[in-house]
Each structure stands twice: as C-alpha cells, then as structure tokens.
Copies of this chain bind each other. A is one copy, B any other.
Amino acid sequence: MHWNPDAEADPATLVYTFGGAAPVASLAPGTVLSTWTRDCFGGRVRSTADLASQVCDPRYLNPQTGPFYIEGAEPGDTLVVHFLSIEPRHDWGVSTTVPFFGSLTATGLTAMLHEPLAERTWFYELDLTERLVRYSALDTAFQAELPLDPMHGTVGVAPPLGEVRSSLTPGSWGGNMDTPEMRAGTTCYLGVNVEGALLSLGDGHARQGEGETCGVAVECAMDTVLVVELLKAVPTPWPRLEDDSFIMTTGSARPLEDAFRIAHTELVRWVAELIGLSTLDAYQLVSQAALTPVANVVDTNYTVVAKFPKALLPGVDVMGGLHRRLRATRHGRP
C-alpha cells in the first residue's frame, strides 16, 4: 500500500506525538507500506543560511508520518516493522547546532548559567550513487566524505497509561531512539499499548554518529518501504531490533546508565529465553558477548543499544523466524 503525506500541509496540522492523533490509514498485518517522511525540521532548513530557531516553530519539530492503525493489534501483542528500504528523498541533508540542545552543552534539563553555543547550519550533499554523504566545514575549506547509511531516528507506537509523548522523546514505546541500527534490513519489535498500535515514523538520517553528539544528524526526507506484521499475545516491554547478524535490545532513560541497565536486563532475559539458560548463565554470556553502542545522549531520554551475535544462537528461531521471512519480502523501490 502507498501512503502519500500531503507535501503542502500546514505544519500545525501534522503529527508531532506518539499517541493522541487519529490514524491516517489502516494496515493489515503482512502489508507492504510505501511512504515518505519529512525531515525533523519539516523541510524548513535548506541551506547554511537557515537557522532552525528562526525558520521553525518550536512547537512543530520532528513531524511523523502516520499514525497507522494495525488491524487486530491489541495491548499485549508485538508489532513487527521490517524496513525493506530507506532512501533519502532528495540529494541533500542538513545538520545544525540548536541553542541548549545536544550532549556537549547546557540544556533545559542539564540547566546551567552559560550562554548557548553558537547556532550554525551545515549542508550535506548526498551522493545516492556513490552512497556518500559530503561534509563541508563552515569556517575552513575542509571537506570529507562519509558513508551514506540511511535510517529512521523515530519509529514508535502509542505509549501506555494513556500518555501522549512528544516525537522528540524515546521510551518503551520506541519514539526518538536515534539509533543507526534502524536501517533497511532491520526488523523492529514494538510492544502494543493501545488497540491498533498506532505506528508512526519519521526523523530520517542520511547517517549519524553513535550518540548523535550535537543532537542533530544528517537530517533528510526519506522514501521508505516497510512491511508490518503482528505477533499476537507476545509482549515486548522495550523495543527490540534484529538484523541478519544480531538481536538487539534498547533502553531509553536518564541517567545513561539506566538506559544501559534496561537494555542489558532485557538482553539477558531474551538470551535466557532463546537458549533456555538460567538468568545467571545468560548474565554471564551477555557480559562476554555483547556489543553496546550508545545511540543518543541528547534527547529527553538517552538511548543505549545492546547487541548479541546470532552466531551464538545456532538453531534458535528468534520470534518464530519472522526476520528471515520478512527479509525475503519482494518489493520494488518506492
């Protein structure tokens, strides 16, 4: 199915939350969805002369595409989203500093008496053929090419407890996790909290570093093809990911060690269940085998990812082998 957001829509009418918005369409499990997402600035930052604080309304940041109502989804189920392709919609992206936002600056929560760092915008050329992202320094002539690695910063469902959360925040419902692992070829598992799950996505990044240190990746609109599935009566307390090589858990919280603790308790319990290990045996195995890249240290909650190699799970059918099956989905590029 194709869902084509209205490119001319008034920013005030877009969706900036998980939960709290009426679904734009209904998807049956198994549906291949082809759609696109605006960049986090709603397309208003287009050159080094555009400063986010001048061209954007702070109430209208990080617009999401969706929400999509998933037929049959109920609390206690797991929504499965497999990304078939995530491709920049244009040949450019932007990044910026934002006053009092980022990990190496005072913020509204890590409140201090400093003046803000200078606000600047960087413009990136995206070479979709060579699969490169071209960085140009603002203050000198230095240029560099980095690998294109498109991903969604934001994928999530409606939160539990009747909450509605800003699209700037990650948590147990997914949301703004900002992990580079959310790329094409990855399967994302999200616990369902409300009837229909209410899946939304956005915040495309042509690439980002681990931690998203300045708070803003190489932001771009994305053409995305995904397939949704539903695991009935399988709860997923915190978002999980799977690619061909790793199973992954996420934790989003503050301080950062709590995000680590969530991701690793989830990974220990998942590995214990998959292999049939005792909790302590799984704790030991995860302690020696896990990779732990930081995802973001800038959003309202910070996110850590814990990865466990599937090579250590021989013969184990993760989530009923869904990833392998979805990976084989036929699809055309959007």
Q: Which residues of A contact B (CB under 8 A)?
A: 16-17, 19-20, 59, 95, 97, 103-106, 108-115, 117-118, 120, 122, 133, 135, 137-140, 142, 144, 146, 161-166, 168, 207-218, 251, 253-258, 260-262, 264-266, 268, 275-281, 283-294, 297, 302, 304, 306, 312
Contacts and interface: CB of A to CB of B under 8 A. Distances in A.
Number of identical protomers: 4
A164 B264 CA distance: 29
Contacts of A95: 284, 287-288
Of residues A104, A113, A304, which shows the largest number of chain B Cβ atoms within 10 Å of its Cβ? A113
A293 B290 contact: no
Given A114-B117, A276-B140, A294-B260, A288 B103 contact: no
A266 B218 CA distance: 22
A146 B115 CA distance: 30
A300 to B, nearest CB: 9
Contact of A292 (B113, B115, B209, B306): B209
A302 B257 contact: yes
A159 to B, nearest CB: 9
Nearest to A265: B111
A217 B287 contact: yes
B118 A287 contact: no
A164 B19 contact: yes
A138 to B, nearest CB: 6
Nearest to A167: B161
A251 B20 contact: no
Nearest to A145: B312
A289 to B, nearest CB: 5
Nearest to A141: B276
Contact of A275 (B142, B257, B264, B287): B142
Contacts of A17: 161-163
B59 A161 contact: yes
A102 B50 CA distance: 35
Contacts of A144: 285, 289, 312
A223 B82 CA distance: 47
Contacts of A285: 135, 137, 144
28 contacts: A17-B163, A95-B288, A103-B260, A104-B283, A108-B262, A111-B266, A113-B280, A113-B283, A115-B115, A133-B288, A135-B285, A135-B288, A138-B278, A139-B280, A144-B289, A163-B163, A163-B166, A209-B289, A209-B290, A209-B292, A211-B306, A213-B268, A217-B287, A217-B288, A218-B288, A254-B254, A257-B302, A292-B293
A292 B253 contact: no
Given A16-B161, A20-B164, A283-B214, A254 B251 contact: no
